Structure 1
Amino acid sequence: MSRADDENDGQATERVVIRDRRKINPNGTATGEPVSDKKPNGGGAHRAAEPEEGTGNATEAPAPQPGLGAELEALRTELDERTRDLQRVTAEYANYRKRVDRDRGAAAEQTTGAVLSALLPVLDDIDRAREHGDLVGPFATVAESLTAATGKFGLVAFGEKGDPFDPTRHEAVAHQTSADVSEPTCVEVMRRGYTLGERLLRPALVAVAEPE
């Protein structure tokens, strides 16, 4: 026995049998392929390696852009500036409305004061007629209606006998001394004064008595 035969005794010899299943066509060409009975080691064809899950197909999140933070800060700064501008414009508009309302009220008061000032001589005639007892009959009704109408516009009469003398509201046309007073006092009223709201429309003409 040869050495080669000794080596082959310890190894299993796999025999390969090839069967030719090709058919001969009438034109002399063969069809089909030889079939081998030899099976690949491992009992089947190796499947192609498939990529592992989670590798190669995963989409990575985009990295933040370097200039995004600066752009966001610039937008916040611009928003703050616009907010301050809006607040300033709102405050200016509120002040404008207050000023317009105040001017409108002052203009209306001046107009009303001008009309009432024109009626003051009529009211003086009514006062004189009342002092002399001539305010009777239909004339008294008209006088009362006129006085009530002017009062609705804020016209208020002042100046009565015995009132303390106030140089800001009274105009003294006569002076005298008296032991019956302890301070300058209006002892006679020649013409009543009138106010319209906080505005002095006309001072009262009075005679003043001072202490002796």
Structure 2
Amino acid sequence: MPDPTSPGNPTPDEVKNADAPQTDEQRADGTVEAEVTDAAAGADRTAELEAAVADLRDRLLRSHAEMENLRRRTEREVQDAKRYAVSSFARDLLGVADNLRRALEAAAAAGKSSADASDDVRDPVFAALVEGVELTERELQKTLEKNGVKKLDPRGKPFDPHHHEAVFEAPDPSVPSGTVVQVMQDGYVIGDRILRPAMVGVARGGPKPGAAPETAGVDRRA
């Protein structure tokens, strides 16, 4: 027969206490312990959900910023495509504009020689031809400008290596050094990009740009 007092076997008092109904104090203690356990679990769950919400909000904001940057970049690329799509075609037309200008310059020289030889009498057919070439040149320039292509006008302005290409230097002390004094070939821009630099002649030997005017010969005596 097993010994009721041996280790591992409940004592008669323990069996009696187990069978006895719990008191109100014992039930209250158990309820408090359960509520504390549930509250701790709930707090952990709330913190976990708040962290998940914060992570989702951060991802949403990042996605929105990326989509906004993509939209702006796409709009800029579309605008650039529209603005510069005719660059290649416009560059080809510049040769036509050059030839028209050469024709007008040659006609002006021929007309001057003809006028000197015939006492200022011009051939009406020749005059009509020159007028037609001038109208054609003006119409071409209007068409180019309508498509964002503009001709540079560098004469009398400082040399700009971004828009001009120096062909020669000419001694000219009457203007500041680096001033464009002659245009050999017109330059053009499309939008804010250079389509073809202007070929120019640049003055040298004059005062430096921005230098104070000389005051030689001025009597400074009181």
- What's the TM-score, normalizing by structure 2? 0.58
Q: Which runs of 5+ in 1 are unaligned?
A: 1-62
Report the alpha carbon displacement of residue 82 of structure 1 after superposing the two structures with TM.
0.7
**Paired residue for 1:169, among 163, 169, 176?**
163
Indicate the residue corresponding to 1:159 in structure 2: 153
Flag the structure with higher helix content. 2
Report the alpha carbon displacement of residue 178 of structure 1 after superposing the two structures with TM.
1.8
Q: State whether structure 2 residue 103 is matched by structure 1 residue 103.
A: no
**Paired residue for 1:198, among 189, 192, 201?**
192
Which protein has greater RCO, CA pairs closer than 8 Å, 6+ apart? 2
Indicate the residue corresponding to 1:13 in structure 2: none
Instruction: Give the number of aligned pairs.
Output: 149
Flag the structure with higher strand content. 1
Give the aligned residue type for 2:88. Answer: A
Give the aligned residue type for 2:131. Answer: V
Closer, same or farther in 2 for the Cα pair 1:176/1:145, shift >3 Å? Answer: closer
**DSSP 3-state at the match of 2:75:** helix
8 Å Cα contact 1:126/1:135 also seen in 2: no
Closer, same or farther in 2 for the Cα pair 1:73/1:167, shift >3 Å? Answer: closer
Q: Which runs of 5+ in 2 are unaligned?
A: 1-34, 109-128, 207-222
Q: State whether structure 2 residue 66 is matched by structure 1 residue 85.
A: no
Indicate the residue corresponding to 1:187 in structure 2: 181
8 Å Cα contact 1:184/1:211 also seen in 2: no
* RMSD value, Cα: 2.4
**Paired residue for 2:137, among 143, 159, 172?**
143
Give the aligned residue type for 1:136. Answer: E
**Paired residue for 1:73, among 34, 47, 61?**
47
Report the alpha carbon displacement of residue 159 of structure 1 after superposing the two structures with TM.
3.3
Query: Per-residue displacement from partner, 1:139-161 (whole Å, max 9, x unpaired)?
Result: 44333222112102211111343
State percent identity of aligned pairs.
Answer: 31
Give the aligned residue type for 2:67. Answer: Y
Closer, same or farther in 2 for the Cα pair 1:90/1:135, shift >3 Å? Answer: farther
